[in-house]
Amino acid sequence: MSEKEKALNPDPGVCVPWEVKKAEIGEFPGNEAITKKEWEKLDDFAYNFIWFWAQR
Amino acid sequence: MNEKEMLYQKRLERYMTAMDCGKPDMVPVAFGVGEWITKYTGTTLQEIYYDLDKSNNVVSEMLPGLDFDIFKGGPALWWPPMFDAMGSKLYKFPGMGVDENSTFQFNEQEYMKADDYDEFIASPTEWLVNHYLPNISTELENPGSYRSTVALIKGAAAFAMQGGIMAAAWGKWTMENGIVGQGTGFTKAPFDTLGDALRGMKGVLLDLRRRPEKVLAACDAITPHNVNCGLAGAGADTRFPCFVPLHRGAYPFLNPKQWDTFYWPSLKATIEGMWAKGKRMLFYAEGDWTPYLEKIAELPDKSIIFQIDTTDAKKAKKILGGRFCLQGGVPTTLLTYGTPEKVKEHIKRTFDELACDGGFILDTGGVVMGDAKKENAIAMIEAARKYGIY
């Protein structure tokens, strides 16, 4: 299993936590809050898409 | 504020007052355009399900002139093209698996095996992605393949497209007709999440005997996710209830001891988790829930709207009334087999029994079937306005 495939056990509303992504990016020269906010919005969309199939 | 905006405000206040167990100016009326509409529009069910524009146009043509408060939505519960893109095994849809004028069928199987419990409980979202989606989708059978990747792109795109199209349609219906949408958010009882699409009825009932501790652990693992699904995202609307169709909790799927042990604790935790964030649940109690009314009464005041389907309405009123808004009162069979006169008589009686001191929303008990008669649906609305003034 590669580093990226390690189990994340994400919280509700999350697929890939921002903290995991941030650690992979390393140095962050810009405004982290802007990037984090949009990452989490799309992550939440993906979460809802995944759970949609289980909530039938 | 124009005429439709004023109408919307009036209906919104009526809905909010009833949800808080108060007595508005008149009994709020909920109404949906069901599959029955196809008989009157010359369309097939396949067209209604597959073509969102056609389906939404049918609704747009139906709504003007109807005087009701709370809109429950149009005739298509699902958008099959999204399921087709994924090669979903979950349903057979009109024209794709069943006749173009047959309603959809759920294809229940053990998509989650008994051996999967531990991995699912350890990380539910990851298990769904890694195992469940490939299990339910023919296009995802070979994860990482060309077909699989394309199917995921198409499926997610369809999810977003449908959301955008339906949001625009609901905006139009609200603006043009002054009606209030029933709710926001969708979730389920954790036991139903497990027993409907994951383990299936047979699987979950066997599990109650063979691996009860796994069932309880799975329900506990699902609960925070179902709270999240019900809230429809952080900071989302909390004025309107979250729709929660309840399945295996209806009597007598489970015996009372099983219900107490396996069904109720995680559903109660889901309701309380949502209510702690200010979100109320439309407790869509399909079937008969009479034996469980005393337990349901343990919930925080006003945290649910209790839907009366075949539950004993008088008992529901006695046990839950005043602390929880009640919704329903019209048997779905009455709209199929009754006449406008019988519908009107029934509604007058229902108001006398259930609505007298407020905290009541008139609605059909469950999902109205495709063989319901339009004249009965219209009679329901007309009678509600005639007899529903406080």
CB contact under 8 A, B193 and A54: yes
- Using CA coordinates, name the residue in chain B closest to A9: B123
Check if B233 contacts A (Cβ < 8 Å): yes
Residues of B in contact with A14 (CB under 8 A): 125
Which member of B91, B106, B188 has the closest CB to residue A55? B188
Does a structural domain hold residue B86? no
CB contact under 8 A, B197 and A55: yes
Does a structural domain hold residue B312? yes
What pLDDT, on a 0 to 100 scale, did the predictor assign at position A23?
Answer: 93
Q: Best mutation site among B79, B125, B128 for testing chain A: the one with the most A CBs within 10 Å? A: B125
What pLDDT, on a 0 to 100 scale, did the predictor assign at position B134?
Answer: 97
Does a structural domain hold residue B236? yes
Q: Residue B241 belongs to what domain range?
A: 3-77+179-387
Does a structural domain hold residue B292? yes
Under DSSP, is residue B182 helix (H, G, I), strand (E, B) or coil?
Answer: coil
Under DSSP, is residue B86 helix (H, G, I), strand (E, B) or coil?
Answer: helix
Above 90 in pLDDT, residue B91? Answer: yes
Residue A15 to residues A11, A41, B328, B360, Cα–Cα distance (Å) = 8, 11, 38, 40
Sheet holding B70-73, edge to edge: B30-32, B70-73, B180-181
B210: confidence class by pLDDT, cuts 50, 70, 90: very high
Check if B228 contacts A (Cβ < 8 Å): yes
Mean pLDDT, residues B80-95 taken together: 98
Above 60 in pLDDT, residue B261? Answer: yes
Does a structural domain hold residue B270? yes
Residue ranges per domain, chain A?
A: 12-24+31-56
**Residue B126 to residue B272: CA distance in whole angstroms:** 26
β-sheet bridge partners, residue B97: B93
- Count structural domains, chain B: 1
- Which tens digit of pLDDT belongs to each residue from A3-52? 566 688 999 999 999 999 999 998 888 999 999 999 999 999 999 999 99
**Residue B192 to residue B201: CA distance in whole angstroms:** 9
B125 min Cα distance to partner chain A (Å): 7
Q: For residue B65, report the phi and psi dihedrals to the nearest 5 degrees.
A: 90, -15
**Residue B363 to residue B354: CA distance in whole angstroms:** 12
Strands (E) located in chain B:
30-32, 70-73, 91-94, 97-98, 105-106, 180-181, 242-246, 281-285, 304-308, 325-330, 360-364
A1: confidence class by pLDDT, cuts 50, 70, 90: low
Q: Are B250 and A29 in contact (CB under 8 A)?
A: no
What pLDDT, on a 0 to 100 scale, did the predictor assign at position B1?
Answer: 86
A36 min Cα distance to partner chain B (Å): 15
Mean pLDDT, residues B223-227 taken together: 98
Residues of A in contact with B225 (CB under 8 A): 12, 51
CB contact under 8 A, B90 and A53: yes
What pLDDT, on a 0 to 100 scale, did the predictor assign at position B234?
Answer: 58
CB contact under 8 A, A49 and B155: yes
Question: Using the 8-state DSSP alphabet, how is residue B255 labeled?
Answer: -
- Using CA coordinates, name the residue in chain B closest to A14: B125
A56: confidence class by pLDDT, cuts 50, 70, 90: confident
Question: Using the 8-state DSSP alphabet, how is residue B180 labeled?
Answer: E
CB contact under 8 A, A13 and B233: yes
- Give me the CATH number covering residue B294: 3.20.20.210
- Using CA coordinates, name the residue in chain A closest to B106: A56
- Which tens digit of pLDDT belongs to each residue from B184-207? 999 999 999 999 999 999 999 999
Q: Are B237 and B248 in contact (CB under 8 A)?
A: no
Instruction: Pinpoint the alpha helices (H) of B137-232.
Output: 146-177, 190-193, 200-210, 212-231
Under DSSP, is residue B244 helix (H, G, I), strand (E, B) or coil?
Answer: strand
Does a structural domain hold residue B140? no
